[in-house]
Each structure stands twice: as C-alpha cells, then as structure tokens.
Structure 1
C-alpha cells in the first residue's frame, strides 16, 4: 500500500453510469420492501429490479378480456421479454 494516493484527476459519483436509469430517493413502506426482498431472494434476482418490473406492469395494464391484442402491443411485449433474457443475472 502506498503512503499517498493522487486523486487530483478523480471524479465523484458512480464509476459507470447505468444507461436509461435515473437514481432517485423514494419512500416505500417497510412491508413492501420486505415482500420484494423475499421474492427476489427466492428467484435469485434483485429486489429493485422486481419493483421496477411491477411499476412497469402498472404502466401497461393487461388487455381487456375478449379484446384482441394489437401488433404494436405484441411487439412491445416481445421486446421487453427479450431484453429481460439478455440481462446478466
């Protein structure tokens, strides 16, 4: 270990910014966090990822029963599913 390190060219913040993501502060109830943490642990994924998926599904409610799905909606679902498969665990 060195006695001194040169941080004169250092930058604050995350080393690599996540594309398409924004860091925010949000207050959630303890039971909600605990629920998602338990689900995430059982499925081997991150609880924040699961919360994000739940919020995304609320943005895109399922089609009404008996109503045909549009080609655009089907493409969107397929893209989302494919992107989830490509993400590293």
Structure 2
C-alpha cells in the first residue's frame, strides 16, 4: 500500500529484501560509493573518454613531475 494513495497495492514479491538497497542521489550533491567524485570542466572532459583515461593522464603527470624535482638536500 502506498502512503500517498492507499488504493495502490504493492506487487513486489515478499522474498525481495530492499532494506539494504542504496539509492544514489542525482545532481551536484550526490555521493559516490566508490570514492571521490571530481567534476571536470567541459573542455577538459572532451579530451577524456572515461575515468581510466583521466587516471592514466594524471599518473603520467605525477611521474613527470617527480622526475623533474631537484634533488633534496
């Protein structure tokens, strides 16, 4: 039965347990369950087809930056 409309009956089977179901919010304030969410500017997002491409580019940048650091005294 629906709270808003008591005439609607629930057709969901009893064996389905939805108590542990996680629901993702849509929009800017949604949470990511896998980690951090980073919003790319549109011009940057055009260059990367997926998250793997972004990670690969960032890892490359990290390696180049670390290799070009002056030796620590």
Same fold (TM > 0.5): no
Which TM bucket (shorter chain)?
0.3 to 0.5
Name the structure where helix makes up a greater proportion of residues.
1
Larger RCO (CA under 8 A, 6+ residues apart): 1
